[in-house]
Amino acid sequence: MKSPYKIIKSLILSEKGSRETEKHNCYLFRVDQAANKIEIKKAVETIYKAHVVKVNTMNCRGKMKRERSMKYGRTPSYKKACVTLKAGEKIEIV
């Protein structure tokens, strides 16, 4: 099994993520592209010591960016996971 710290890359802090946290007790994470839902669930439970109810994943395509000339490049694609925790539990954001 992979290390939990290699599966969970970072916690996504955004306005949309904050609304999800307040409404549905759901946190957004940037995760490894090869990770599946079961691995993500175990990694979050190991790192944050919280009980995970549900995991939703989505592959986000990189955005088009224009370089100095008329050439276009692309930012890297990534995988995002929306992890719902058990009612009453939360992750401390430092």
Q: Vertex 90, ends 86 and 91: CA angle to 5°?
A: 130
Q: What string of pLDDT tens digits covers the 94 residues of the chain?
A: 789 999 999 999 999 999 988 999 999 999 999 999 999 999 999 999 999 999 999 999 999 999 888 889 999 999 999 999 999 998 988 7
Q: Where along the chain do its domains lie?
A: 4-85
Topology (CATH level 3) of domain 4-85: Alpha-Beta Plaits (3.30.70)
Residue 68 has a pLDDT of 85
Nearest to 11 by CA among 87, 80, 85: 80
Lookup result for tokens 């946190």: 27
